[in-house]
Amino acid sequence: MIFCWRLGHDILTTYENISSIRREFNSNCPRCGTVMETLIHAMKDCPKARAVLAYGGLNNNLLEGYYGRCVDWLEDVACALDKKAFSDFIMVLWNIWNSRNNKVFWDVEEEARMTWERVAGLSREFRIFNFLEKPMISKPTMEKGWEKLSLRVIKINFNASTMGRKMSFGLVARDHDGFVLGGRAGVLEKNVHAEWAEFYVLEESLNFARTKNWCKLEFESDCVSLVNRLNRMKRVVYDSNW
């Protein structure tokens, strides 16, 4: 992740970047020695880097073409590859950079096959590690489950849907143990907005509760706009009472 960020911002210690600080520094590529070592040259255009990319079977269309900046090349590659392939591609670039550093600091030049085999091994170990270990940044999880109601409270779940000039609705009532006490369902010739359909079935739920003489009620709906509207009305009533 850090390496990818450095690639995108061109802050790796290429000879071009070093020569911008030290004027007398030779900026030619330490591997091929023919041109200035820019980031795009070190990762793509240098014959040593291209040998590794070609050995791995990278699409020729992604190997050809002129790019002034490495980030532009990375964007085109990201559009051509899926997420897994692109993560492997970044790992290839990381190993190309490590091979370049081995040449600079230790004067050791390895074959493209050796670099690619190391990439394959690291990729395989990385995937196994991710299966066995928990992620460093875990995804937030929300555990939801059925909660038992207070004694003598009746819960009514209601829902509605619209299609053309028709609306359908349904409601079901349960007691504090989750036992179904009854419900209603129907289809009406009404051309209404979805929120108005939900409001209609809420009214049906209230009428259904009146026929049963239920006093303690709890209603549940998946219509967020209706719930928010009712909650705002509730706050207004509380404020006026205060």
Q: Which segment of 11-15, 20-24, 35-39, 131-135 scores lowest on mean pLDDT? A: 131-135
What is d(CA 14, CA 97) in angstroms, rounded to the nearest whole number? 10
Sequence ranges of the domains in the chain = 2-132, 154-241
What is d(CA 142, CA 137) in angstroms, rounded to the nearest whole number? 16
Place of tokens 């209404």: 192
Q: Which residue has the higher pLDDT, 234 or 233?
A: 233
pLDDT-derived band at 236, boundaries 50, 70, 90: very low
**CATH code matching the domain that covers 154-241, chosen among 3.30.420.10, 2.70.170.10, 1.10.150.20, 2.60.40.290:** 3.30.420.10
pLDDT digits (tens, 9 = 90+) for 166-207: 889 999 999 888 888 999 888 988 888 888 888 899 999 999
* List of residues 6+ apart from 9 with CB closer than 8 A: 71
Please give the average per-residue pLDDT across 46-51, as a whole number.
94
What are the distances in angstroms from CA 219 to CA 4, 192, 227, 235? 50, 22, 10, 17
pLDDT of 237 strictly over 50: no
What is d(CA 10, CA 46) in angstroms, rounded to the nearest whole number? 17
What are the distances in angstroms from CA 164 to CA 188, 190, 193, 211? 11, 9, 10, 31
pLDDT at site 48 = 95
DSSP-based helix, strand, coil % in the chain, nearest 5: 50, 15, 35
Q: Which of the listed ranges 110-114, 195-199, 226-230, 232-236 does the model predict with the highest average pLDDT?
A: 110-114
pLDDT at site 146 = 56
Q: What percent of the chain has pLDDT over 70?
A: 85
